Amino acid sequence: MTTALITGASSGIGLEMARLMAADKVDLVLVARSQDRLATLADELKSRHSVAVDVIACDLSDVDAARTVVSALGGKPVDYLINNAGFGDFGAFLERDWAKLNQMIQLNITSLTRLTHLLLPHMVERGSGRVLNVASTASYQPGPWMAVYYATKAYVLSFSDALSYELRKTGVTVTTLCPGATQSGFQALAEMENSKLVRGKNLPTSAEVAAFGYRKMLKGRGVVIHGLLNWLMAQSVRFTPRAVILRVVDFISGPSSK
């Protein structure tokens, strides 16, 4: 039986990914901060699809969180690792709370990297496995007003792409999912409801993005960008001067009242 570990599984893309995998009879280990929300989702998936679902309530922005998660697995092998957990923070860098920025770096970068480092050896040893790291179209350029978030996602893209190359002969694949702005709880947590990127926009749903990423992961694809317009914008960065990119990002996603 295939087992998937999904971080950030209590909402958004992670929750929808859990539903898709359960429908495919994949056993699940769901990780997020909220025990209650995880338990509710686990009950839904077990009842509807008759799969095994374990929950690990853990704050991955804590320094030792990745090792806590792996210890809670009790040696259970993981076939699919979905590093989905992450959050952003909107506003001028000097006006943001350092504690929140530090938690973002820990969650978006350190815990993702550490979980991958801890769980990959068993996949490589078995000669099979799938890793899906959720990055963002923000990975492709610097982002005024979300400077740290954009930088963390640039790390995820670079790290995952390099790792995919290293593992190319092992039977293990690494897929990097780069969605644009998506309907989820991300905007509220990032305090970016006033950003031009999301205000008044008809955004794709978490279910649509999850389905896209899941299909691409199963096919062993590398870097995948959701949405034709997002793909075109990501490619255009390669031919655009850096100074122009900064002004464009500010225009597209800066504060709507600025």
For the annotated catalytic residues, the residue numbers are 149
Token pair 């686990």 in the structure block, residue: 42
8-state DSSP, 11? S
Q: φ and ψ at 223, to 5 degrees?
A: -90, 125
Q: Answer for the pair 123, 226: CB distance below 8 angstroms, yes or no.
A: no
State the Cα–Cα distance between residues 106 and 87, nearest whole angstrom: 11
Give the number of other Cβ atoms within 10 Å of residue 132's Cβ: 27
In angstroms, the CA 107 to CA 179 distance is: 18
Going across the sheet that includes 223-225, the strands are 53-57, 27-32, 3-7, 80-83, 129-134, 172-178, 223-225
